[in-house]
């Protein structure tokens, strides 16, 4: 799959630039700690091999300027607790301070560089910034699956200067996602929610031919319902060529063909204001009063989705079914997390908010795979070209594994 692999790379007495994604993201601190834990196998393997492990990550969106509120130093403290060994820090991710910190390392040491996005060259994929990063190490390892869809210097540009291989987390993520798209167990179900409706269109279009059941909640449900009724909502761009119109047409065509069953909520929890501080009621989706906001799916919908997904052998879940930031709108998502954990099915969870929800429900270890990526998972399932994978020698257009979806 990749031009080089982790297991065939010599790390002994070498300095390794390990790109991780320890960014807080939509899932909050829980998502960060999850990503830290998921990267531990790669770090442990590098230390056992006698490498000097130099970790590079980004935090937040500082816009290319230093912002100490987004420093990686707190991450180093968390990583120390996980590893049980010291994790040194550097005042920058390139330049004299980084080079001096690396010069003080011995095999097995771990160093956390400062936030990559303190430099504008990171997000612009500056060749000069990529060269400065490459000067720090002998080998580059990419374990930042959640950022693999970004054309950034530490993801793409640096690979032009160093021997570059995927980390164990990246290999594991790829293995699970390829199994879903290339060798799925049938019947397969999709459970879709969340608020970033446009981001899911490509993934749904690609996965629809593989699915038997599609359960739709979250912000996507009112959009699909309104499109079916011929109503253009504020969330739905006008015109027949809009991605959402294409998506609704594809869902309708699949239903007409008898290929897939598409289920919308039969009851929802709605509130007069978006924060749910005023009146909250449960009603049929099509009977939600104008100006009211849908916050969650109701228990009749939970039962309906549970019954439809019960026969599935594989389920892909992306996006919570309610507004998880408000506990009174989290019941539907939590209930379905427990339902899926008890099914005899391989359940893949993608998206920071969804992953955080299954961890809070205490069922993450009972699910087949909880991905560390949100946008990257959607892009991968949507068969988009991912710059970070291409930089490691992996292309969808030349890899037979994905031709069946073209």
Residue pair 47/106 in contact (Cβ under 8 Å)? The answer is: no
Distances (CA, A) of 242 to 225, 232, 248, 319, 382: 16, 11, 10, 21, 17
pLDDT at position 36: 92
Mean pLDDT of the chain: 87
pLDDT at position 194: 84
CATH class, 15-173 region? alpha beta
Q: Is the peptide bond before 187 cis (omega within 30 degrees of 0)?
A: yes
Asked which of 231-240, 273-282, 360-369 is least confident by mean pLDDT, the reply is 231-240
- In sequence order, what are the beta bridge partners of 347? 315
Overall average pLDDT of the 117-143 stretch = 98
Angle at CA of residue 301, ends 295 and 304, nearest 5°? 160
pLDDT digit string, tens, across residues 303-337: 999 999 999 999 999 999 988 888 888 899 999 99
Domain map (residue ranges) of the chain:
15-173, 184-373
Is a pLDDT exceeding 80 seen at residue 25? no
Give dist(CA 321, CA 333) in Å, integer. 5
pLDDT digit string, tens, across residues 170-184: 999 999 998 998 889
Enter the tokens of residue 233: 């909502």
pLDDT digit string, tens, across residues 355-400: 889 999 999 999 999 998 888 898 888 888 899 999 998 755 444 4
Is a pLDDT exceeding 70 seen at residue 405? no
Confidence band (pLDDT; 50, 70, 90) for 95?
Answer: very high
Check the CA dihedral 115-196-268-292 and report its sign. positive
Give dist(CA 265, CA 183) in Å, integer. 30
Is a pLDDT exceeding 80 seen at residue 403? no
Q: Do 15-173 and 184-373 have matching folds?
A: yes
**At the fourth CATH level, which superfamily is domain 184-373?**
Phosphoglycerate kinase, N-terminal domain (3.40.50.1260)
Percentage of the chain exceeding pLDDT 90: 60
- Sorted by sequence, the CB contacts under 8 Å of residue 33 that are 6+ apart come out as 78
């Amino acid at each position: 799959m990749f031009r080089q692999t982790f297991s065939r790379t010599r790390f002994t007495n070498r300095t390794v630039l390990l790109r991780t994604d320890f960014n807080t993201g939509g899932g909050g601190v829980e998502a960060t700690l999850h990503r830290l834990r998921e990267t531990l196998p790669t770090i442990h393997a590098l230390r056992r091999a006698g490498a000097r492990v130099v970790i590079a990550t980004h935090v937040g969106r500082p816009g290319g300027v230093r912002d100490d509120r987004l420093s990686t130093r707190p991450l180093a403290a968390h990583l120390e607790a996980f590893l049980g060994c010291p994790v040194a820090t550097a005042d920058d991710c390139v330049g004299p301070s980084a080079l001096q910190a690396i010069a003080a390392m011995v095999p097995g040491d771990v160093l956390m560089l400062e936030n990559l996005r303190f430099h504008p060259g990171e997000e612009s994929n500056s060749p000069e910034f990529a060269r400065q990063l490459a000067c720090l190490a002998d080998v580059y390892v990419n374990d930042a699956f959640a950022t693999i869809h970004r054309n950034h210097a530490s993801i793409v540009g640096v690979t032009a200067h160093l021997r570059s291989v995927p980390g164990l987390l990246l290999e594991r993520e790829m293995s699970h996602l390829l199994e879903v798209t290339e060798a799925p167990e049938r019947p397969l179900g999709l459970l879709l929610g969340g608020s970033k409706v446009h981001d899911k269109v490509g993934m749904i279009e690609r996965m629809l031919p593989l699915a038997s059941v599609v359960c739709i909640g979250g912000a996507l449900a009112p959009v699909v319902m309104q499109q079916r009724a011929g109503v253009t909502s504020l969330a739905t761009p006008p015109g027949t060529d809009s991605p959402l119109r294409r998506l609704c047409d594809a869902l309708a065509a699949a239903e007409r063909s008898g290929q897939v069953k598409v289920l919308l909520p039969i009851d929802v929890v709605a509130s007069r204001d978006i924060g749910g501080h005023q009146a909250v009621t449960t009603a049929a989706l099509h009977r939600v009063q104008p100006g009211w906001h849908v916050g969650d799916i109701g228990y009749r919908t939970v039962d309906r989705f549970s019954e439809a997904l019960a026969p599935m052998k594989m389920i892909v879940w992306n996006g919570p079914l309610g507004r998880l930031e408000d506990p009174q709108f989290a019941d539907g998502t939590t209930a379905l997390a427990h339902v899926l954990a008890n099914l005899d099915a391989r359940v893949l969870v993608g998206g920071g908010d969804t992953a955080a929800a299954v961890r809070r429900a205490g069922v993450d270890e009972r699910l087949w795979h909880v991905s560390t990526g949100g946008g990257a998972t959607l892009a991968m399932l949507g068969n988009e070209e991912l710059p970070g994978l291409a930089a490691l020698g992996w292309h969808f257009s030349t890899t037979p594994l994905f031709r069946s979806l073209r």
